[in-house]
Amino acid sequence: MDAELQADRAALADTVRRFAKIEIAPNVEAWDDAGEFPRALYTRAAELGLLGLGYPEALGGTPASYSLKLPAWIALARHGKSGGVLASLFSHNIGLPPVVLHASDAVRHEVVPAVLRGEKIAALAITEPGGGSDVAALRTTAKRDSDHYVLNGEKTFITSGMRADWITVAVRTGEGRGAGGISMLLVPGDAPGLSRTRLAKMGWLCSDTATLHFDNVRVPARYLLGDEGSGFRIIMSNFNGERIGIAAASLGFAQACLDEALAWSRERKTFGAALIEHQAVRHKLVDMQMRIASTEAWLEAVSAEGDAHEAAGRFNAPEWVAQVCMLKNHATQTMQFCADQAVQILGGMGFMRGTVSERIYREVKVMMIGGGAEEIMKELAARQLGWL
């Protein structure tokens, strides 16, 4: 890694660390109780350039490689200590890429700059009730009617679903079933016929997750992203960035659990000695650090490889996609292990609301399922490696 990139990474990580410690972490409990965080946080993140990181300069962003974005993702998780905040504050990172890559120039300029300024919220809507990971089986339809599409159907588990101003929606424009008839359509959040139902969750309590209902929603045809029938390829390509982001956040959350467990083990005394003086506790902490170190090294390697592939125009190199899938599983398993061990070390306090480890413990499963469940990741990796 060259000196300039190292310096940029250090500066960005420091900015994010201060933002997370001052403006996120102290407020998370209150935001969880409220079920959302203030929209003003989007504006503040935008002022620091965080929302625009990785987006074209012409649209108000700052181009950035995976390797540059990595320390920002990790620091936000480690020091913000809330998956719910990260999920909704950065839901545009899964909702906007299809717009940037596949919308007309006019639509890109209509939509993207306002989101990157924190004035509008963007979301992605793929999953359907009863559909889960089987994207090719989605049933929400979009029928062409002159210069509009008419949408009918439902989407569920949609992050930022209650507040999103722009929703990138996977729809079926072709006949029958299967991947070939899927398209991507950008839906304005105020479109008549669109309604939303808030969902209650185990974790991510301050993330406004929803089921979306489309009842003859008319969307201008100019909001079609790419060509009709190209939606499945767009979705699959979009997953790569999401999965690397999940892996990076999982690493940060694992580090947050270790931070809390280590501090507690130094302060808490049992049987006349600090917890860390007991071998059993020290070994738990070392086991956590081992998994964190391996995840960090793999994440750096996969990010660097992704940057190299993108520079060469190989955006979906099979061997790299396989690495992303396996890394996503490894990182979320590291988060799961560290959350479990931290709660165990904290003992009764680990079961109490208000501790970092308790919150992260509840958020583990959505990280292991979101962006592609473990089982799907293993199957996709095997196929990308040419084993089938």
Q: Given a cut of 70, is residue 341 above it in pLDDT?
A: yes
Q: Given a cut of 70, is residue 176 above it in pLDDT?
A: no
SS3 273: strand
Length of the chain: 388
Q: What does the block give as tokens for 284?
A: 């738990």
pLDDT digits (tens, 9 = 90+) for 196-218: 999 999 999 999 999 999 999 99
Cα torsion angle, 199, 200, 201, 207, sign = positive
The model carries a pTM of 0.95
pLDDT of residue 68: 94
The amino acid present at 377, given as its one-letter code, is M
Mean pLDDT of the chain: 95
SS3 352: coil
Q: First-to-last CA distance in the chain?
A: 36
Residue 72 CA to residue 70 CA, distance in Å, equals 5
Place of tokens 């003859």: 216
pLDDT digits (tens, 9 = 90+) for 284-312: 999 999 999 999 999 999 999 999 998 88
Cβ-proximal residues to 222 (8 Å cutoff; 6+ apart), any chain: 104, 106, 107, 147
pLDDT digits (tens, 9 = 90+) for 241-255: 999 999 999 999 999
List the catalytic residues. 242
pLDDT of residue 202: 96
Nearest to 315 by CA among 249, 242, 257, 238: 238
